[in-house]
Chain A
Amino acid sequence: MNNAKKAIFAAIGKALPAPASAPAIAAELTQLRARIDATRPERVSGPPDEVFLDRVQSPGVAASAERIGSLNDLPAAVMRYAAQHDLALNIALQPHPNLEALNWSGLQTRDHVGTDETLAVGLALGGIAETGSLVFHSSPESPTLFAFLPLHHIVAVSYKNIWPWMEDYVRAFTGAPPPRNVNLVTGASGTTDIEGTLVRGAHGPGWLHVVMVGPPTD
């Protein structure tokens, strides 16, 4: 133990002279955890994918969203989006095998994201219905900067991977070694730093478009 750590721990020990045992700490923590579910916002009552799409488009999150039948429909959705926003058919494509396997003819694609990228297309690990957040785990197939550098970010997410509450996402990965980055992305970048006025596109994307992949279709 280095000197600074030793000194800090000595100071803690002096302030808290009777440390609890590890089992006692664990027991207290278990009791605290048992109280969490009762405090979650009740609102998530419908099917998680539908609640998620509602939240994503709610005024607080303010992303746009659509649903497609299968991942194969993603390139067409990207082309529609580009046409709608008057963007070149030239995209940074997250190097995920499921995306790379799609037919991107008609679009120029790159597997890296540039500093002033206009449009990037990615695949999220999943989503959280409670908050309308997309979940990314960084990996060679999911570089972190894809979610931060482009001006427009289109993100596909499977309807099967929507967790109702934030804790449900966490519990799905409890015990696994943590990824280098977990990024929860909830809407486009924004700032209220000048007079509390919300402006989108501060440093990260100014536009976030969520494409939900898979049922329901009625």
Chain B
Amino acid sequence: MNAFHGRVTAALADATLKIAIDRTTNTARAKRAAAIAAWPEFAQARVLGRDIKDHVIANMEYYLNQFETNAKKTGAKIHWARTGQEACEIVVGICKAANAKTVTRSKSMLGEEIGLPHALEAAGIERVETDLAEHIIQLAHEKPSHIIWPALHKTREQVGDLFRANHTDPGALETVEQMVNSARRNLREKFMAADVGISGANFLIADTGAICTVTNEGNAELTTTPPRVHIVTAGIEKLVPSMVEAMTMLRLLVRSATGAELTQYTTFHAGPKRTGDVDGPEEFHIVLVDAGRTTMLAEGLAEMLRCLRCGACMNHCVVYRQIGGHAYGATYPGPMGSVITPSLDGLEKSQDLPRACTLNGQCQEVCPVAIPLPKLIRGWRTKAWVQGYEPVYTAWALRIWEFLALRPALYQIASNMALRVMPVFAKGGWIAKMPLAGGWTRYRDMPRPQAATFLAQYKKRQAAK
């Protein structure tokens, strides 16, 4: 059994996990559906959002240069990182130069992707996760299982237990309100005491050099404003030409993610503290990270670079909703993760992800930028087949079947032979167990086939006419 199957087996056996997944994703789907229904222009906006992202990606060099020039004008320091490791080194280097003891971090999937939490800890810097969900999984020493709700796999009962064990004066922890209040009290001083605040960026605004963050909790601004230094890590694909286009993307992103029309706090950050400002960071750094994005661009995955990280694809994925995020064994789970992960981690290691998909297309249907996820997933299967990763048993089964499918007369003979054998295993109209059919019959009965093939019966019928 490979690692993926092991994780899947464990996840499917975890009844609490399924309860947790359902509680959040069911709400998320219902809220998104209501928000989209209340926006008749959604279909048109989605096509526009797709075209804006495609435009930026096709002209990435132009917009990156524009962004860099404008960001420098605001006083931001720009850093470039080819790899995740390089990005972590830059961030840790800035922290060390600032003599930082503690850093606050506002949830960023890029940060998770490049291993920044680990890099900070390895450098001996105290890391305080400020997003409530990231706080929960930091206490649990776990990784995110969803890109919008990283602690989606935790029930409220489990969160209560964690806070009881880790919070100072948590008080009663019976309700979700009490848990949120306890986190608010426990994180308050840490926001103000941090030396460095690290955020991601939802958008890089090319014509002003600003970066945009969105949160509902307000933790991003509390992370980026009080400390002396604000560091932004952002993927180079996060560009939009200007704030006007950012607004279109925000409408799409927020409704798709949580069903709200706009996040409670939508902030555009441009450079450090200005003359006379009473708050704001003295240094403002932006680390622009490639980490596989230019490879995706070169390898036919440009459409994936549209991704806004809204999480709608996983909320609507029948596979994700059964196995949860951790089973994917990667930073990004669900359909978008099944496309990105083979590019980041290598196809051999992650070949199961594109394969463990029913290609039902609902992810593409809900994607706010119309990423053809099933097509991209199938693209990885093609690569896996060409590179010989298909398991030997299924590869040979497929080859034999193809051999027959290309020889119709032989195919009919083989089919009719099989149909004569199959009833041997049937009890009444159903087959509960049959050699070579274990994948099917482990959980399902197979209907006993009806006598001869359709073609054979049809031929007989025509002859009788």
A and B co-occur in one complex: yes
Q: Do the beta carbons of B24 and A196 come within 8 Å of each other? A: yes
A20 interface hit (Cβ, 8 Å): yes
Q: List 5 A-B contacts (CB under 8 A).
A: A7-B82, A8-B294, A170-B244, A174-B242, A193-B150
From B86, B209, B263, B294, contact of A178 by CB (8 A): B209
Q: Give chain B nearest CB distance to A7 CB in angstroms.
A: 5
The size of the chain A interface, using a CB distance under 8 A, is 77
Contacts of B269 in A (CB 8 A): 180-181
Q: Are B48 and A32 within 8 A (Cβ)?
A: yes
Complex Cα distance, B245 from A40, in Å, reads 12
Task: Find chain B residues with CB under 8 A from A131 CB.
Answer: 261-262
Interfacial chain B residues near A36, Cβ < 8 Å: 48, 244-245, 247-248
The distance from the CB of B326 to the nearest CB of chain A, in whole angstroms, is 17
What string of 1s and 0s marks CB contacts (under 8 Å) between B159-183 and chain A? 1000000000000000011011101
Best-surrounded residue of B23, B59, B297 (most CB of chain A within 10 A): B59
A138 interface contact, C-beta 8 A = yes
A1-19 CB mask vs B (1 if < 8 Å, else 0) is 0101101110111111001
| Residues in chain B near residue A166, CB distance under 8 A | 247, 250-251
Q: Is the CB of A148 within 8 A of B149?
A: no
Residues from 104 to 126 in A contacting B, C-beta threshold 8 Å: 112, 115-116
The answer on a CB contact under 8 Å between B192 and A115 is yes
Identity of the chain A residue whose Cβ is nearest the Cβ of B40 in the assembled complex: A42
B293, chain A: closest CB distance, angstroms = 9
Contact B221 A4 (CB under 8 A): no
Residue in B133, B221, B269 with the greatest tally of chain A CB atoms within 10 Å: B221
Q: Return the contact of A148 from the options B27, B81, B222, B270 (Cβ within 8 A).
A: B222
Does B114 count as interface, using CB distance less than 8 angstroms? no
Q: Answer whether A204 and B265 are a contact pair too, CB < 8 Å, given A4-B82, A180-B271.
A: yes
B236 within 8 A of A: yes
> CB of A75 within 8 A of chain B?
no
Minimal beta-carbon separation of A5 from chain B (angstroms) = 4
Say whether B260 faces chain A, with CB atoms less than 8 Å apart.
yes
Secondary structure dominating the interface of A: loop
Q: Which residues of B contact A178 (CB under 8 A)?
A: 74, 205, 208-210, 268, 270
A145 and B225 in contact, given A15-B298, A179-B270 (Cβ under 8 angstroms):
yes
Q: Is the CB of B61 within 8 A of A9?
A: yes
Given A115-B189, A182-B268, verify A193-B44 contact (CB < 8 Å): no
User: In the complex, what residues of A have CB within 8 A of residue B177's CB?
Assistant: 199
CB contacts (< 8 Å) of A46 on chain B: these are none
Q: Are B187 and A39 in contact (CB under 8 A)?
A: no
Residue of A nearest to B136 (CB): A193
Asked if A196 contacts B39 (CB within 8 A), the reply is no
Q: Which residue of B is nearest A41, CB measured?
A: B39
**Contact mask A81-105 → B, CB, 8 Å, 1/0?**
0000000000000010000000000
B139 at the interface (CB under 8 A from A): no
- Docked complex: A148-178 residues within 8 A CB-CB of B: 148-149, 165-167, 170-171, 174, 177-178
Question: Is B151 within 8 A of A193, CB to CB?
Answer: yes
A118, B151: Cα distance in complex, Å: 29
Verify if B280 is at the interface (C-beta below 8 Å from A): yes
Q: What B residues does A205 contact at CB under 8 A? A: 218
A9 CB to closest chain B CB (Å) equals: 6
> Could you tell me the distance between the alpha carbons of A193 and B192 in the complex, rounded to whole angstroms?
23
**B32 → chain A, closest Cβ, in Å?**
12
CB-CB nearest in chain A for B260: A60
Determine the residue in chain B with the shortest Cβ distance to A19.
B61
- Report if A139 contacts B (CB, 8 A): yes
- Give every chain A residue within 8 A of B132 (Cβ-Cβ): 191, 193-194, 202
- Cα distance A38–B280 in the bound complex, in angstroms: 37
Interface segment out of the listed B50-58, B348-356, B421-429, B454-462: B50-58
Contacts of A16 in B (CB 8 A): 58, 60-61, 297
The 5 A-B residue pairs with the shortest CB-CB distance in the complex, in nearest-first order: A204-B218, A11-B294, A140-B276, A202-B217, A39-B45
Report if A25-B59 is in contact (Cβ < 8 Å); known contacts: A131-B262, A138-B280, A202-B218. yes
Closest to A133 in B: B262
B 232-276 to A, binary, CB cutoff 8 A, 1 in contact else 0? 000010000111110110110000001011111111111111101
Contact residue among B62, B226, B258, B277 (Cβ-Cβ distance under 8 Å from A22)? B62
The chain A residue sitting closest to B212, CB to CB, is: A182
Contact pick for A203, options B74, B150, B191, B236, CB 8 Å: B191
User: Is B179 in contact with A194, judged by CB distance below 8 angstroms?
Assistant: yes
Q: Is B364 an interface residue (CB 8 A)?
A: no
**B265 lies within 8 A of A189 (CB):** yes
Q: Are the C-beta atoms of B258 and A20 separated by less than 8 Å?
A: no
Q: State in angstroms the CA–CA spacing of A57 and B226 once bound together.
A: 30
Q: Contact: B219 with A202, CB < 8 Å?
A: yes
Would you call B23 and A29 a contact (CB within 8 A)? no
CB neighbours (8 Å) of A51 from chain B are none
Say whether B248 contacts A197, CB under 8 Å: no
B343 at the interface (CB under 8 A from A): no
Residues of A within 8 A of B38 (CB): 41
Q: Are B60 and A12 in contact (CB under 8 A)?
A: yes
- Judged by a CB distance under 8 angstroms, whether B9 is at the interface is no
Chain B positions 193 through 211: 1 when the CB is less than 8 Å from some CB of chain A, otherwise 0: 0000000000001001110
> For B62, what are the chain A residues with a Cβ–Cβ distance below 8 Å?
19-20, 22, 25
Q: What is the bound-complex CA distance between A178 and B295, given in angstroms?
A: 33
Docked-complex contact B61 and A188, CB < 8 angstroms: no
Q: Closest CB-CB distance, B35 to chain A, in whole Å? A: 9
A80 to B265, CA, bound (A): 27
- Indicate if A28 sits at the interface (CB-CB under 8 A): yes
- Contacts A184-B265, A191-B132 aside, 6 further interface pairs with beta carbons under 8 A come to A144-B221, A145-B222, A181-B221, A183-B265, A203-B219, A203-B222
